[in-house]
Amino acid sequence: MQANEAITMQQALGQLIGGSDLTREQAKSVMNIIMSGEATAVQIAGVLTAMRMKGETKDEITGFAEVMRAHSGRVETEQEGLLDTCGTGGSGIHKFNISTASSIIAAAAGIRVAKHGNRAMSGKTGSADVLEALGVQITITPEQAAQCLNDIGICFMFAQLYHPSLRHAAAPRRELGIRTIFNMLGPLTNPAGADRQLLGLYDRSRTSTVAEVLGELGLKRAMVVSSHDGLDEISISAPTQISELLDGKVRTFDLTPEELGLSRHPITDVMGGEPAVNASLIRAIFAGEQRGAYRDIVLANAGACIYVGGAASSLREGAAIAAEVIDSGKAERKLVSLIQTTGELAHVSG
């Protein structure tokens, strides 16, 4: 079979079970069948399980992501240098919403942020849940999201509104109950075409592969992070493995909290809860009332966003800028702007 030929679900399953990788074009063919609703639930479950057992390759992930992007809604914007920050989830650790808090701080530091997120998948509270609890209107239209981005330098794109074709894989994924390639796809399909990204990954063995995928998808700068204590974030409890995409090349290294000028804290000190609890934590951090572990882990991750966004020359400097953004009240004011702007936009459409 030639690499550019279409492949059926049965052929793909046989190939995967035999231990052979799909080419990028074959992966695109399989994903097109899934996204168009032509695959049965059994076929989808079989292919996803076989891919997981074999180990998904760069070409397979890239092919799936390209098709998912083609089937997704878009936020049309002429802005460049947009940043997204999110995690795959799947860590099994119920931490609070670190990437969501970090995205607001990055925006307050002058980075243009197009945050893509969803309701909870693995923890108790997803980014959509906590933003809703904070008072942000999460169901604004793509056109309104573009306006929000233009007006205040940050927008939130609720994944459920942008990826209707994912419904075809929803039941098999739910019934399987295991991580599959789909857990990686959400963070790879930003509707605004963000070309800079901090991506948290549940599997430390895959950071370099996913960083290479981001390069294939056209991103200019990115960091894929996975900590030694199991977080899909930069940790303050253990070293974090980072695969950095820069100038088309990927390098992988470990980062400790001390290298950022931060203290170590037990992982239990950054646990979260229900949306209202996590919203209160974020408000307290931004108000300067919550210090210690919660503040430090946000500084670590917001600092990485600021670095990837190009406003800091090092991760340590990024963390220091994040601290200044909080202490000056800029983060708190940016959150207020996001709440007010999305509220006004939603009122107009309502």
Q: Which residues are annotated as a binding site?
A: 87, 90-91, 97-100, 115-123, 127, 173, 232-233
Residue numbers belonging to the annotated binding site for Mg(2+): 99, 232-233
CA 166 to chain centre: 17
Binding site listing for 5-phospho-alpha-D-ribose 1-diphosphate: 87, 90-91, 97-100, 115-123, 127
Query: d(Cα 96, Cα 123) in Å, to the nearest integer?
Result: 8
Radius of gyration, alpha carbons of the chain: 20
Which residues contribute to the annotated binding site for anthranilate?
87, 118, 173
